[in-house]
Structure formats: structure tokens, C-alpha cells
Structure 1
Amino acid sequence: MSGQGADWLKGMVTVHIRGGRAEELVNRALAGGLQLSTIRWTSSGLLEFELSVSDFFRLRPYLKETGCRVHVTKRKGLPFLLVKAERRKLFAGGIVLFFAIIFMLSSLVWSIEVQGNIKLTEDQIRLAAKEEGLYPLQWSFRLTDADVLSKQLVRKLPGSTWVGVEKKGTKVIIQVVESTIPKQSALNTPRHLVAAADAVVTEIIAEAGRPVVRKNMRVKKDQILISGTIGGEEYSRTVVAKGNVRGLVWYEFEIASPLVQQVKVYTGEKKTKWFAVIGSRALQVSGYGKDEYKASEAILSEQKISWRNWTLPIGRLKETIMETRLEERTLTEEEAKNAGILQAKADVLIKAGSDAVIRDEIVLHEKADNGKVYMKVLFEVEQSIVKEMPLVQMQGE
């Protein structure tokens, strides 16, 4: 152990010598075997040196012989730390208890996360894990070794090829890899692809079957686009027609857009509530009382205690209640018109499909009356226009 470490264990004091024969005191103490260090004269004319606690008590005879008085100015080391701890038993006990609780909480499994499962339900996996001793609020040291637990879970979970168990802090992650079974292709009957609506063809791609329309051709609803019959009259056969046909379709919308709209705004008034969070439970600690706001919106913000990769299920939750009110906003006719058309476009795309594109819009009629703007709008949309028609149905007709 280094000299400084030994001095800290023994305890060291710094003293000032007053009156008497200070130089003689130092000489006699050193001759008597006392270890004095950092001997110097202070700016106030006092002799200062440092010595151990045990040597401090052996210094008394030399003080009497030389007529000096001693005054302790500094104390450091383990003995003095123990004295302070003795005086503050409750404080020291609280610190010990705090770390003991943190250790106990960090030794528990607080949550289990399941990943990778598709066919197997999360409840099935959690039940199998519980049968093997893995469940929330279980002690970490009581868990089976991860490799052994993985093999046991594979045996208990039919359809799984590998199960990984990983502990991260107070959370355990169960990663499941399920066995893949080749999909059996559906047994499709021969069919045509026909038009789902009146349209003008913009694109046609035939993967199987015989295309009977071409680009820029106008087609009627239920007209055959890609035929499932191929070959001549004597050597014809039927197939499952496959492909994609896109076309321009027209949608007519009647729109009534109000000139006065209600908008939600924040008033700036707010109330804050704090909650202590332990696991999935929250205990309110401040912000009691009923909310006096007629209309409000709550914003939640949660903070958990974490250290490095460890996240404890202990923290605090802040709930901010923001007062809101509805304000009327008056639009110009042009603003109301744009708002109505924008909503109509959204409705068109929902109806036409996710791959649809609006190519053009034409306002056929427009007027303002009774606080609203009324419009009749025609949208030109490019979309997929195919639907299936079994050949059996065609033969039956």
C-alpha cells in the first residue's frame, strides 16, 4: 500500500503551534520517533506541521516540556469519516438502504419482450416461458442458463426452429424464429381480366393470356381486357389471365365547403401533474384537484431511471393539461374552394386505390350561398382498371 493510502487509513491531522519554544518542540518530537511532515511557518508566524492521529496523542509530553500549545486545523482519513458516519447513523443507513433497494430491484425481471413471432401468439410464448421459470418479478439469479432455457422453449413451442433468450438490464428479450412452410399456390380457375369501370386505356401489360385492347382505346365496364382463351378455334385452350391494365377514369364530386370553420387553439393556460412510476403503476404526487378547463388536451412525458444499459422500472411521469378552445376562422371563397377540393381529392384516392394518380381536375359549376361554396368537380384519375371474371361464368351465360 502507498504511503498516502496508509496515512489515510491511520488518519492525519494538521496542527498549529502557539507560544513556548516551537523549534525545540519539533526537534524533541523528531528525536522521540514522531513522524512530522510538511513543517513550515505560516504567514501569521505560527509553526505548522502534519502528523498521524497516534503521534498526535504522543505529542502531549513534549508540549509540556516546551511550554507550547497545539491547535488542530485540519482532519482527514478513515477514523474521522467513521466518526461522522456514527453521528449520522440515519443518513448512512439511508444510503445503505437506498443502494440495497436499487440492487434488489435491478435483480428482478421487470418485463419480457417477445420478438419475431408470426404464427405463434405472444400468450403462447409467455406461457411456455413461465413454465420454465421465466416471468415478470422473477429473480434473475433463479433463471435457468440462457442456452438451456432456449432449448427447452424450442421443445415447448411447436413450429419454432430457434428461440433466443437475452437479458438486458431488467428486461428479457425472447427472439423466436419460426419454421417456414412453403406456400401452396392457390388453385385458380381459368379467367378473363375485364374492365372494372368505363375508362381510356393508358397501359397494358399481359403476363398470361391474350390482350384484346390497346393503349388509348376507350373501354366499357365489364369489357374483356386480357382474354383467358388463347389459340385458334380448333386448338384453343383456357388459361388464368394475368397482367395489369391502367386507364383514365372520371369521378364527379359535389362539394359543399363552409366559409366559417372551427379551429382548435391553445389558450396558454396549463396545469402540471407529477406521478411516481413503479412498474406499470403510477402514483400521483402533485397537481391534485379537478381540472377547471371546459376543453383540454393532455400531453404525457415519462422518464425512467437508467444507468448505462440498465433501465429500472422506476421513474416519474409528467402530465401537462393544456386548455383549448374552438375559434371560428372565416375563409375567403378561394380558401374554402381549395379546402373542399383537397378533401375531395383525398376521398377520390381512397376510392380509386393506393396506386391511383389524379391527372386533372375540372370545376364544372361553382357558387357561394348560405355561408358555403358549392362546386361540382370532375376528376381525371389514372388507376388500375382490371377485375377478374371466371370463364365458367362466361360459358354459363
Structure 2
Amino acid sequence: MSIQGAQWIKGMVTVHIRGGQPELLVNRALAGGLQLSSIRWTSKGLLEFELSVSDFFRLRTYLKETGCRVHVTARKGLPFLLVKAERRKLFAGGIVLFFAIIFMLSSLVWSVEVQGNVKLTEEQIRAVAKQEGLYPMQWSFRLADADVLSKQLVRKLPGASWVGVEKKGTKVIIQVVEQTVPKHTALNNPRHLVASTDAVVTEIIAEAGRPVVKKNTKVKKGQTLISGTIGGEEHSRTIVAKGTVRGLVWYEFSIASPLTQSVKVYTGEKKTKWFAIIGSRALQVSGYGDNPFAASETIRHEQKAAWRNWSLPIGRMKETVMEMRMEKRTLTEAEAKGIGILQAKADVLIKAGSDAVIRDEIVLHEKAENGKVYMKVLFEVEQSIVKEMPLVQMQGD
């Protein structure tokens, strides 16, 4: 324990010395074994120093010898704190009760979180955990060791290869690793890969099968791209054609983009509500009354109390109700045109596939009337153009 800590437990007093011979008092007290500290002269010409409570009572002998008088100006330490607590029994009892409640709340399991499960349902895992005594509102000291719980859960959960149990404050996390079952590859029938739409081929890679078109070739919908028939006429055989074929495809869109747009604007007026959080419940403590705004948006911010690595089930939540209104914004023809084309591009990519790339756009027609910009736009898109076609093999002799 540090020297300051020991002094705080004993209790320290600060005193002023009046009259007599202050210097002689200090010398005799130190020679007598008293521990005086922070010795100094005040601005009023009084000698000031600190000493422990026990040394204060031993100081009386030296006061009589030197003709000095003593006046206590400050008290600090555990003995004086206990005296105050005795005078304020209700307050001290409240503090003790508060910490007792915090200890009880932190000794409970408030939530059980399940992670890593795919095939096993969360309800199934929670049911097995409850059989082992692991469930919300359970006392932490009643739980078995994490290793024991893990082994029991693995034994009772079909398809689980490992289960980890970790306690973080008032939350318990169950981490599940399921057994990996090899996927059965489906048996495919012989097939061709044909064009899904009219296009110009930009790339063709045959993993299996015979490519029958080349790059920069224009193909029609349904035309064979990679054949599933290989070999000569006498020794031909059919296989499952595999490969990648990309091509340029054209999409024509008619766009009508309005010249006015509704925009959400915050006025700056707001109302704040505070809630006390205990477990999963929220108790409002301020900001009562109805929402005074005709149109508003609510933003919530929650703060949980924590002590070291423990997350306590108590906290507060701030709810801010912000007044807003919708305003009409007038766009220029260029802005409306840009917004319309951007929306059309999104529709093109949805239709063409996630791997599609827009290479070019051409505005074929454009006019503004009746509060809108009307356009006809042609998009040039590079995308996958293959689809499967089952290959029916003709029986020979």
C-alpha cells in the first residue's frame, strides 16, 4: 500500500499554531517521533502542518511545553468519512443498496446470443442450452464451466462439430461450428450453350465443348455458341458444354424525368426525450407530451453503462424528434436528364445481370414538355449471353 493510502486510512488533519514558540514546538514534536508534513508559514503569519489523528493527540504534551495553541482547519481520511456516514445513515444505506443492486444485476445473464448457425435453428440451440441451465435471467454462479457447457451442447446438438460458450459481462455468446457435408454434384445431361439474345461476341472461352463462333461475330438468339458435340462424324460423342461467352447487347429505354423533385428539409426545431433503460425496458423520464410537429423524423441514440469489460443491463436512451417538411425543388433540364438516365442505367443492370457493364449510351430523341423531360436512350451493354440447351442424341444403327 502507498504512503498516501496508509495516511488516508489513519486519517489526517491540517492545523494552525498560534502563540508560544511554534519553531520549538515543531523541533520537539519531530524529535519525539511525530510525523509532521507540509510544514509552512501562512500569509497571516501562522505555522501550518499536517499530521495523523493519532499524532494529533500526542501533540498536546508539546503544546503545553511551548505555550502554543492549536486550531484544526481541515480533516480528511477514512475515520472522518465513517463519522459522516454515521450521521447520514439513510444516505450511506442508499449507497450500499445501490452497489448491492448493481452487483446483483451484473451477476445475472441478461441475454444469450447465438452465432455461426446455418442449418441448426436458433430456437433449437436455445432449447438445448436451457436444458443445461443457460438462459436469460439465470444467475452466473449457477452456470457450469464453459468447457462443460460446450461439451454438453456438442453432444446434444445434431450436426454441430464444435460449440464455444463465452461470457461477456451480462451476455453469453454461443458460437456454433456445424459439420461440413460435401455437396453432391448434380449429373448434367449433354448440352449446347446457345445465345440468350441477339449480340456481337466480345469474348468466348470454352472450358468443355467446341466453340463454333469467334470474337466480333454477330449472333442471333438461340444460335449455338459452344457445341456439346465433339469428334468426327464416325467417332463423335456428346458432352456437357461449359464456358463463358460475353457480347454487346443493345437496350432501348423511353424515359420521362420530372422537372420538379420533392426534397426533405429539416427546420431546426426539435424535441428531446430521455429514457432510463433497465434490461429490455425503457422508462421515459423527460420530454413528456404529444409530438408538436406536423411532420417529423425520430432519431434514437442508446448508451449502456459499463464497468471495465462488463456491460451492465442499465443505461439511458436519447430520442430526438426533429421537425421536417417536404419542399419542391425545380431542376434544370440537364439535371432532370441526368437523373432519368441514372435510373435507366440501374434498370438496365438489373435486367442484364450483376456482371454486366454499360459501354456506351446514345440519346436518340429528347424533348421537354408538360413539366417533364422525355428521352429515348440506347444503351450498349457487355454481358453474358449464354444459356443452356439440352442436346438430344440421335440413336445410331
**Using a 3 Å threshold, how does the CA distance of structure 1 residues 321 and 73 change in structure 2: closer, same or farther?**
closer
Offset, 1:153: 0.3
What residue identity is the alignment partner of 1:288? Y
What residue identity is the alignment partner of 2:186? A
**Using a 3 Å threshold, how does the CA distance of structure 1 residues 60 and 374 change in structure 2: closer, same or farther?**
closer
Q: CA RMSD in A?
A: 3.1
**Equivalent residue, structure 1, for 2:344:** 344
Per-residue Cα deviation, 1:317-353 (whole angstroms, up to 9, x for no partner): 1111122211111112122111111110110001000
Q: Does 1:257 align with 2:252?
A: no
**Equivalent residue, structure 1, for 2:309:** 309
Per-residue Cα deviation, 1:224-248 (whole angstroms, up to 9, x for no partner): 1111111222222111111111011
Offset, 1:3: 8.2
**Equivalent residue, structure 2, for 1:185:** 185
Q: Does 1:217 align with 2:221?
A: no
- How far apart in 1 are the matches of 2:290 and 2:212? 71
Offset, 1:285: 1.4
SS in 1 for 2:118: coil
Per-residue Cα deviation, 1:167-211 (whole angstroms, up to 9, x for no partner): 111111111111111111001111111111111111111111111
Query: What does 1:274-285 align with in structure 2 at a 5 Å threshold?
Result: 274-285=274-285
TM-score (norm 2): 0.88
Q: Does 1:320 align with 2:332?
A: no
- How far apart in 2 are the matches of 1:215 and 1:65? 116
- How far apart in 2 are the matches of 1:195 and 1:330? 45
Judge which range, 52-61 or 351-360, deviates more: 52-61
- How far apart in 2 are the matches of 1:296 and 1:40? 65
SS in 2 for 1:189: coil
Query: What does 1:156-167 align with in structure 2 at a 5 Å threshold?
Result: 156-167=156-167
What residue identity is the alignment partner of 2:243? G
**Equivalent residue, structure 1, for 2:203:** 203
- How far apart in 2 are the matches of 1:377 and 1:265? 33
- How far apart in 2 are the matches of 1:2 and 1:367? 85
Judge which range, 147-156 or 91-100, deviates more: 91-100
- How far apart in 2 are the matches of 1:107 and 1:356? 56
Q: Is the 8 A contact 2:212 2:227 kept in 1?
A: yes
Q: Is the 8 A contact 1:22 1:47 kept in 2?
A: no
Structure 1 portions without partners, runs of 5+: none
What residue identity is the alignment partner of 2:280? S
Offset, 1:140: 0.9
SS in 2 for 1:133: coil
Q: Does 1:176 align with 2:196?
A: no
Number of residue pairs matched by the alignment: 393
- How far apart in 2 are the matches of 1:285 and 1:41? 53
Per-residue Cα deviation, 1:126-177 (whole angstroms, up to 9, x for no partner): 1111110111111111111111111100011011111111111111111111
- How far apart in 2 are the matches of 1:364 and 1:379? 10
**Using a 3 Å threshold, how does the CA distance of structure 1 residues 42 and 194 change in structure 2: closer, same or farther?**
closer
Query: What does 1:113-132 align with in structure 2 at a 5 Å threshold?
Result: 113-132=113-132
**Equivalent residue, structure 2, for 1:151:** 151
What residue identity is the alignment partner of 2:156? K
SS in 2 for 1:339: helix
Q: Is the 8 A contact 1:151 1:163 kept in 2?
A: yes
**Using a 3 Å threshold, how does the CA distance of structure 1 residues 41 and 312 change in structure 2: closer, same or farther?**
closer
SS in 1 for 2:174: strand
**Using a 3 Å threshold, how does the CA distance of structure 1 residues 42 and 163 change in structure 2: closer, same or farther?**
closer
Offset, 1:81: 2.2
Q: Is the 8 A contact 1:36 1:49 kept in 2?
A: no
What residue identity is the alignment partner of 1:264? K
Offset, 1:382: 0.5
SS in 1 for 2:350: helix
Q: Does 1:106 align with 2:113?
A: no
Identity of aligned residues (%): 82
**Equivalent residue, structure 2, for 1:79:** 79
TM-score (norm 1): 0.88
- How far apart in 2 are the matches of 1:159 and 1:376? 56
Offset, 1:57: 5.8
Per-residue Cα deviation, 1:88-137 (whole angstroms, up to 9, x for no partner): 22222222222212211211112222222121111111111111011111
- How far apart in 1 are the matches of 2:340 and 2:41? 92
- How far apart in 2 are the matches of 1:195 and 1:267? 56
- How far apart in 2 are the matches of 1:106 and 1:135? 15
**Equivalent residue, structure 2, for 1:371:** 371
**Using a 3 Å threshold, how does the CA distance of structure 1 residues 201 and 292 change in structure 2: closer, same or farther?**
same
- How far apart in 2 are the matches of 1:304 and 1:358? 48
Q: Is the 8 A contact 1:24 1:66 kept in 2?
A: no
Q: Is the 8 A contact 1:261 1:328 kept in 2?
A: yes
Q: Is the 8 A contact 2:36 2:50 kept in 1?
A: yes
- How far apart in 2 are the matches of 1:135 and 1:266? 45
**Using a 3 Å threshold, how does the CA distance of structure 1 residues 92 and 221 change in structure 2: closer, same or farther?**
same
